[in-house]
Amino acid sequence: MVPHTGEVFGTITNAQWVMACALPLIAMTETPLGQLNRMNQLAFLLLAGLSGPFSIFALPIFVWRLWTNRDAHSIRLFSVALVLSSTQLITTLRNYVSFEGEREPFHLAITVIDRWLGALANGWRSDNWYFVLITILFGITLLFLVWSPKYRRLNLALLFMTGAVLGSTWLKFMPGHSRHLDWISMDDRYFFRPKVMTFWILAGALFQAERVRQFAGAVLLMLGLMSVKHGEYNWWRKHIYPELPWSAPALEIDKGNAVEILINPAPYSVQVPDRKW
């Protein structure tokens, strides 16, 4: 249960963020013995890969798997991941539109890192010196735990995916929306997956042989779980949205007129152009 606004559960479209969490697990775990289990992995990879661009980031991990374990299942997984990632890459490049506005790459980089580690360590932005210190110590300890002997291969895959997601977030907003993510409740879905995979790394530390890694993992997990509670607003309480009068805009659409439809949450709206025919 990671600290987040619940945004990722707000619409079926955001299922891509949840499903993509399993991609590095499929890539880095041993080949299942049962045929049904292997078919299940392929089917899940197909659905998750078509639901969002994350198969692009997962492809190097499937290449790594194929390089170290060249069995038939690894070849099939790599083949599916290659087709899906190529499809997503072409789609993304053909539909990419850059923002226009402020361009502050360093500020955005710090914001992205803080939205990931700061939210886990503090439940909010690191806006004073001791929160900054806690966040830095959290990050250093996390890197120490990634290099744990038992799950090092999986941890490196999870960290790579985390970096890829955060890096792509930076690339998306840097050209003209560098301060878009300053408020911690803004577009929280971009940080859900990095937080989940960080929690998995910390949970794995509890099963290491060295007591110091177990203790460090337990401390960071407690910090992360406590941050759900001590954030500066209630992460989970969602208010019922008001009903919006859509009958009048619907009549205008029937007449072929251009109309602006107000949607929840305010102040968002949908612009419907007039029909020319």
Question: Domain locations in the chain?
Answer: 7-230, 243-277
Q: What is the pLDDT of residues 226-261, one digit of tens each?
A: 876 655 545 555 667 888 888 999 999 998 999 999
Owner of token pair 């969002």: 52
Model confidence at 144: pLDDT above 90: yes
Q: How confident is the model at residue 35 (pLDDT cuts 50, 70, 90)?
A: very high
Strand segments, DSSP code E, in the chain are 259-262, 269-272
Q: How many CA atoms lie within 13 A of 155 on its CB side?
A: 19
Q: What is the pLDDT of residues 121-139, one digit of tens each?
A: 887 778 888 889 999 999 9
> Per DSSP, what are the bridge partners of residue 261?
270
Best CA proximity match to 216, nearest among 114, 126, 146, 113: 146
Contacts of 271 (CB under 8 A, 6+ apart): 258, 260, 261
Judged on CB neighbours under 10 Å (0-12, 13-18, 19+), 175 is middle
Q: How confident is the model at residue 276 (pLDDT cuts 50, 70, 90)?
A: low
Owner of token pair 């009068």: 245
Q: How many CA atoms lie within 13 A of 169 on its CB side?
A: 27
> Per DSSP, what are the bridge partners of residue 262?
269
Q: How many CA atoms lie within 13 A of 195 on its CB side?
A: 31
pLDDT on residue 12: 83
72, 111, 158, 165, 260 from 117: Cα distances, Å = 38, 10, 15, 14, 39
Q: How many helices (H) and strands (E) does the chain have?
A: 12, 2
Query: Rounded mean pLDDT of 90-112?
Result: 86
pLDDT on residue 194: 94
- Average model confidence (pLDDT) for the chain? 88
For residue 271, report the phi and psi dihedrals to the nearest 5 degrees: -95, 120
Q: What is the pLDDT of residues 174-232, one digit of tens each?
A: 988 888 898 877 888 999 999 999 999 999 999 988 999 999 999 999 888 887 665 55
Q: What percent of the chain has pLDDT over 90?
A: 56
pLDDT on residue 233: 47
Residue type present at position 110:
I
Residues 164, 180: Cα–Cα separation, whole Å: 19
pLDDT on residue 45: 94
Residues 226, 109: Cα–Cα separation, whole Å: 25
